[in-house]
Amino acid sequence: MKNIVITGSTKGIGYGYALEFARRGCSVCITGRAEADLKAALDKLHADVKGAARVIGYVCDVAKAADVQALWDKVYREFGVIDIWINNAGFARSGVKLLELTPAEIKTMVDSNVIGTINGCQVAVKGMTAQGHGHVYNTLGGGHDGRVVPGMIGYSTTKRVVRYFTDCLIDELKDSVVKIGKISPGVNISEGMIREVSALTVEQRKKKLWPINILGDYVETTTPWLVEQVLADVARGKSGTHIAWMTMGKLLGRFLSAPIKKRDLFARYGLSPA
């Protein structure tokens, strides 16, 4: 079984990854910036996962290089080796134009999505080179391919940067023992998204939730498949793999079936669009 570090994993899809890896017997380290969130996530994981899986956690701000290096050092001492490192920590502010973004939101997106990914790669590649093997996966998102996504000017810009950085790193390490991959997890219903939707009026909700209800999924739907794909990719020992939940075929199928197959992903939160 593999030893895995997942940044930004006290909630949302990061927590979903941790749960699914642990269910498969892997040892997992989760991270987050808040001690209270980390403790709550660890307690939940320990209750949800039984058996040989080992789950630990450390507070880490991925925007701080020293924090990320300390994270590697602590986990390496605990596990002895780190096979998989997933740069998942990130922040998204959706449904807003440039002038609606606050300076704090812009800084958080750049710090978490870009600086955090670069810090994670630098530390993990260095450590994995020394140990002789390892896989690093960076998280992509809407706009990473250059496509304009309305209302996502800040977030999508950071993900375009992450895509370029990752492609450069794949080329840079093509002869290395360290393998680099990309994960496009699709549109997952997160705590942040729920907070944003809850602040909208009913009319605003109708407009915002229409595409999300077509393209979105729950974390418990996407993460089992994504985790299986990561483990299979590691077993193959390849570099440059792009693991994508929402393929073009799936996307087209969702839109074509939307008039017939109605989806209301927010009903469970009492936030239906109408």
pLDDT at site 71: 98
Mean pLDDT of the chain: 94
Q: Which domain holds residue 139?
A: 3-189+219-247
Give 164-183 pLDDT, tens digit per residue. Answer: 999 999 999 999 999 999 99
What is the DSSP code string of 90-152?
-----SB-GGGS-HHHHHHHIIIIIIHHHHHHHHHHHHHHHHT-EEEEEE--TTTTS---TTB
* Ramachandran quadrant class, 112 (left: phi over 0; alpha: psi -120 to 50; beta: rest): alpha
Establish if 32 belongs to a structural domain.
yes
Establish if 118 belongs to a structural domain.
yes
Q: How many CB atoms lie within 10 A of CB 20?
A: 23
Domain count across the chain: 1
Establish if 181 belongs to a structural domain.
yes
Give 69-107 pLDDT, tens digit per residue. Answer: 999 999 999 999 999 999 999 999 888 899 999 999 999
Closest CA to 199 of 108, 120, 100: 100
For the cut 80, the answer to whether the pLDDT of residue 51 exceeds it is no
Distance, in Å, from the CA atom of 140 to the CA atom of 159, rounded to the nearest integer, reads 6
Establish if 270 belongs to a structural domain.
no
Establish if 77 belongs to a structural domain.
yes
Establish if 177 belongs to a structural domain.
yes
pLDDT at site 203: 80
Return the DSSP state at 177.
S
- List phi, psi (to 5°) of 187: -95, 105
For the cut 90, the answer to whether the pLDDT of residue 241 exceeds it is yes
Instruction: Indicate the residue type of 104.
Output: A
Establish if 81 belongs to a structural domain.
yes
Q: What is the CATH number of the domain that holds 127?
A: 3.40.50.720
Q: 205, 156 in Cβ contact below 8 A? A: no
**How far is residue 189 CA from its own chain's centroid?**
12
Establish if 266 belongs to a structural domain.
no
